[in-house]
């Protein structure tokens, strides 16, 4: 080969090697650039996630729950593919807690269960907190047995982990759960044991909830006087700390009912105003849940009641003024007609003697004793147990359920059956049966969509009413709404949630 040819071959070889080296260098630079870019993007995403998380916490603290949830969900998307598992599950916990307060209990349960698996091995206190919230969710979902399981597990796990901080809260949760199981004495006893701990912790919110369910337990057993001090304690917490949540709303309804029975118009007006204030706070802080609250006293009705009470108060003031004028006139007349004083005193004395005549007193006492025939306590307890079985087995759904039939189920006579129902359920027999039937239908409508497509006649048959008219009348008495309107409101609430 010529020297010139060899020289050209060498240049070609060197050029090929240089091109390969250049390509390798370019690939390395590109890969390095991509890696750096990915790292930078990840850091930026995490920073944005932290910002949304902080924003969610601020909204949560302001009770802006929907905004809080929106921010938490965005924060979760930024952290979802990072390796910061603690923050991921911290956000998941925040999402679950917010969904719980918004009333999305099934979704909250799913999120809490995801947190449970992580925190079980990573953080004892967070693990116990999640168990506690799962119990609360199942209680709100009316799954009281599962609620008991989580409360029991929470106490046992706390003992295993040697962490007793959450034990009073599990007992608090279970005591309230027992109320819904109609074990009212258990609720009262257990909550009274927990309250001193809550006072020590200055946990006025859970203390108010405890006082409320003690009051409701007394109220359910027709011990309204025993319920009153606890109702007033909840009211005091509301006045002092402005604390209210959806289930505590009923506290003011019960106070209004109590003072309505006592015919104390002034106090009825006080608690009507407080209920209006509570509704204003609830509609602001829990507006996505407030539509689901069954309200005995809706806003329109409350304002009407308030106007009527104020009118009664004015009439009472006018009446008292008239009495004062009459008394003043009477005193003046007494002074003018001093000469007739002895005669008047004689007549008054005669009336007093007549009113206090021993014969009349004995007659009244005999009549009273006759009317107040008491049931033997042992027999009364047996009747009450049979009544609870009657309710649990839903015997009230049978058609044409009459007092004799109920008495037969209770294994007693009609007189004792009616007396026991009135004493322990606070209702006449027909109202008691109708309310149970209507409550059964309401639960079906709330929890199973198919019943919302039933005709009114079909719903009446499902509840065991003899006629559609009787069903509609009983439904309105219970809810202040017709069945069709009630179904429409339920459908509207569901549409809003979706």
Domain-embedded: residue 203: no
Q: What span, in angstroms and rounded, lies between the C-alpha atoms of 74 and 265? A: 52
- Residue 57 and residue 94 in contact, taking contact as beta carbons nearer than 8 Å: yes
Lowest mean pLDDT among 303-307, 329-333, 339-343: 339-343
Q: With 0-12 CB in 10 A as exposed, 13-18 as middle and 19+ as buried, what is 365?
A: exposed
Question: Terminus-to-terminus CA distance in the chain, angstroms?
Answer: 86
User: How many domains does the structure of the chain reveal?
Assistant: 3
Q: Based on the domain organization, do 298 and 343 belong to the same domain?
A: yes
Instruction: Please state the rounded mean pLDDT for residues 21-25.
Output: 45
Give the other-Cβ count within 10 Å of 263's Cβ.
9
Mean pLDDT over each residue of the chain, to the nearest integer: 80
CA angle, residues 249, 254, 255, in degrees to nearest 5: 100
Q: Which residue has the higher pLDDT, 268 or 289?
A: 268
pLDDT at 19 over 50: no
Lowest mean pLDDT segment, chosen from 115-119, 318-322, 389-393 = 318-322
> Which band of pLDDT confidence, cut at 50, 70 and 90, is reported for residue 81?
confident
Residue 358 has pLDDT above 50, yes or no: no
Contact partners, residue 451, CB within 8 Å, separation at least 6: 441, 444, 445, 459, 462
Residue ending a domain, choose from 289, 324, 359: 359
139 CB-near residues (< 8 Å, 6+ apart): 147, 173, 176, 177, 180
Of the listed ranges 47-56, 219-228, 411-420, the one predicted with least confidence: 47-56
Per-residue confidence (pLDDT) for residue 413, from 0 to 100: 94
Separation CA 356–CA 63 (nearest Å): 64
Residue 57, domain member (yes or no): yes
Considering the domain architecture, whether residues 329 and 418 belong to the same structural domain is answered as no
For residue 231, is it within any domain?
no
Contacts of 63 (CB under 8 A, 6+ apart): 284, 285, 286
Q: Cα(159)–Cα(155) distance, rounded to whole angstroms?
A: 6
Q: Average pLDDT, stretch 476-481?
A: 90
Q: Which domain holds residue 439?
A: 378-497
Can you read off the two tokens belonging to residue 341? Answer: 């004083």
**Number of other CB atoms surrounding residue 462 within 10 Å:** 16
Tell me, yes or no, whether 402 and 331 share the same domain. no
Is residue 475, in this structure, part of any structural domain at all? yes
232 in a structural domain: no
Q: What confidence category does residue 372 fall into, taking pLDDT thresholds of 50, 70 and 90? A: very low
Classify residue 165: in a domain, yes or no: no
Residues 6+ positions from 109 with CB-CB distance below 8 Å: 96, 134, 137, 138, 141
* Span 197-225, average pLDDT: 95
77 phi, psi to nearest 5 deg = -60, -40
pLDDT at 213: 96
162: helix, strand or coil: coil
Taking the C-alpha atoms of residue 403 and residue 348, their distance in angstroms, rounded to an integer, is: 50
pTM over 0.95: no
pLDDT in tens, 290-322: 454 445 555 555 566 656 666 665 565 566 666
């Amino acid at each position: 080969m010529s020297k010139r040819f060899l020289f050209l071959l060498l240049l070609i070889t060197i050029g090929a090697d240089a091109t390969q080296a250049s390509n390798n260098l370019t690939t390395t630079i590109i890969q390095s650039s991509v890696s750096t870019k990915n790292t930078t993007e990840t850091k930026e995403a995490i920073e944005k996630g932290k910002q949304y998380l902080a924003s969610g916490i601020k909204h949560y603290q302001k009770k802006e729950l929907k905004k809080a949830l929106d921010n938490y969900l965005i924060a979760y998307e930024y952290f979802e593919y990072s390796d910061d598992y603690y923050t991921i599950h911290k956000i998941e916990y925040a999402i679950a807690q917010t969904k719980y307060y918004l009333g999305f209990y099934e979704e909250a349960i799913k999120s809490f269960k995801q947190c449970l698996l992580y925190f079980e091995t990573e953080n004892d206190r967070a693990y116990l907190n999640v168990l506690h919230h799962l119990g609360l969710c199942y209680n709100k979902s009316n799954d009281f047995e599962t609620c008991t399981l989580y409360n029991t597990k929470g106490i046992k796990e706390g003992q295993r982990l040697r962490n007793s901080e959450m034990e009073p809260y599990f007992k608090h949760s279970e005591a309230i759960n027992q109320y819904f199981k109609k074990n009212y004495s258990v609720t009262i006893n257990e909550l009274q044991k927990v309250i001193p701990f809550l006072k020590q912790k200055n946990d006025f919110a859970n203390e108010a909830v405890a006082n409320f369910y003690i009051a409701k337990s007394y109220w359910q057993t027709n011990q309204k006087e025993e319920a009153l001090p606890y109702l007033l304690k909840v009211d005091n917490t509301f006045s002092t700390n402005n604390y209210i949540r959806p289930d505590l709303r009923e506290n003011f309804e019960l106070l209004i009912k109590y003072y309505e029975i006592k015919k104390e118009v002034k106090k009825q007006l006080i608690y009507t105003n407080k209920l209006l204030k509570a509704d204003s706070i609830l509609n602001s802080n829990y507006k996505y849940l407030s539509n689901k609250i069954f309200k005995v006293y809706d806003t329109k009705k409350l304002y009407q009641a308030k106007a009527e009470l104020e009118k009664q108060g004015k009439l009472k003031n006018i009446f008292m003024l008239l009495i004062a004028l009459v008394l003043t006139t009477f005193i003046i007349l007494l002074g003018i007609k001093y000469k007739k004083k002895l005669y008047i005193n004689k007549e008054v004395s005669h009336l007093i003697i007549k009113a206090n005549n021993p014969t009349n007193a004995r007659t009244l006492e005999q009549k009273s004793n006759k009317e107040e025939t008491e049931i033997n306590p042992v027999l009364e307890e047996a009747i009450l147990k049979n009544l609870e079985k009657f309710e649990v087995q839903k015997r009230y759904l049978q058609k044409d359920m009459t007092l004799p039939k109920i008495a037969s189920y209770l294994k007693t006579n009609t007189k004792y059956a009616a007396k026991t129902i009135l004493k322990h359920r606070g209702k006449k027999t027909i109202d008691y049966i109708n309310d149970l039937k209507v409550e059964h239908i309401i639960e079906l409508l709330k929890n199973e969509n198919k019943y919302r497509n039933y005709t009114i006649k079909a719903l009446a048959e499902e509840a065991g009413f003899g006629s559609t008219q009787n069903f509609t009348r009983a439904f309105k008495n219970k809810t202040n709404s017709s069945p069709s309107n009630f179904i429409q409101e339920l459908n509207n609430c569901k549409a809003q949630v979706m």
